[in-house]
Amino acid sequence: MFQRTYVMIKPDAVERRLIGRIVSRLEDVGLTIERMELAEVTREQAEANYAEHAGKPFYPGLIEYVTSGPVVKMVVSGEEAVAVVRKLMGATNPKDAAPGTIRGDFGLSLDANIVHGSDSPESAEREIGIFFS
Ligand code: IDP
Ligand code: MG
């Protein structure tokens, strides 16, 4: 099914000059970058995006981290875009992410794990609304 998903290159990856290589991986499989913007995430946007994790021990640090510097916000589309992006990203913890995935190749830290991608079509529409309103 044709889908849109929300992808975000997190602050550490922007700082490490990884934008081009991450966008290339999305384009390499044939996904379309529909929108793309370098921007700061507001605290309100971060809290809305990660609402499901509110109350967890890592939540304050997660909000702090994602608002710590510029990110790249993207709307990405294509056949099964949500699952395809999740596959390209790899496991949440870069230490568990397979080689060849974005997190597996570029990351080592669970806190700073390079990239965000929506986990369902419903999350995607909600997150696109948060970041592109
Ligand atoms: P996901 O990004 O693969 O969907 P989620 O479980 O939704 O993973 O967690 C959201 C983000 O919160 C992760 O990408 C990671 O940055 C951070 N995170 C998740 N679990 C932990 C943890 O146990 N410690 C620190 N940060 C975490
Ligand atoms: Mg998630």
Q: Domain ranges in the chain?
A: 2-119
Mean pLDDT score, 41-64:
98
Give all strands of the β-sheet with 32-39 in edge-to-edge order: 32-39, 71-79, 2-9, 115-117
CA 58, 98, 116, 71 dihedral sign is positive
Place of tokens 């934008």: 19
Mean pLDDT score, 104-133:
97
The response to whether residue 111 sits with its C-beta less than 6 Å from ligand 1 reads: yes
Comparing C-alpha atoms, which of 44, 64, 37, 46 is closest to residue 132? 37
Give the single-character DSSP code of 83.
H
List 26, 74, 116, 127, catalytic entry: 116
Yes or no: say if 10 and 112 are a contact pair by the CB < 8 Å rule: yes
Q: Looking at the CA of 113, which ligand is closest?
A: 1
Yes or no: say if 107 and 94 are a contact pair by the CB < 8 Å rule: yes
Residue 133's pLDDT is what? 86
Taking the CA of residue 111 as reference, the ligand 1 atom at the shortest distance is 26
What number of residues does the chain have? 133
In the predicted model, is pLDDT for residue 92 greater than 90?
yes
The response to whether residue 62 sits with its C-beta less than 6 Å from ligand 1 reads: yes
In the predicted model, is pLDDT for residue 33 greater than 90?
yes
Structure tokens at 31: 């996904």
Q: Is 116 a catalytic residue?
A: yes
Taking the CA of residue 119 as reference, the ligand 1 atom at the shortest distance is 4
Tell me how far apart the 2 most distant CA atoms of the chain are, in Å: 38
Q: How confident is the model at residue 42 (pLDDT cuts 50, 70, 90)?
A: very high
Q: In the chain, which ranges are continuous DSSP H helix?
A: 11-15, 19-28, 43-49, 59-66, 81-89, 102-106, 121-131
Q: Of 3.30.70.141, 3.40.50.720, 3.40.190.10, 2.60.40.2140, which CATH number belongs to 2-119? A: 3.30.70.141
The response to whether residue 92 sits with its C-beta less than 6 Å from ligand 1 reads: yes
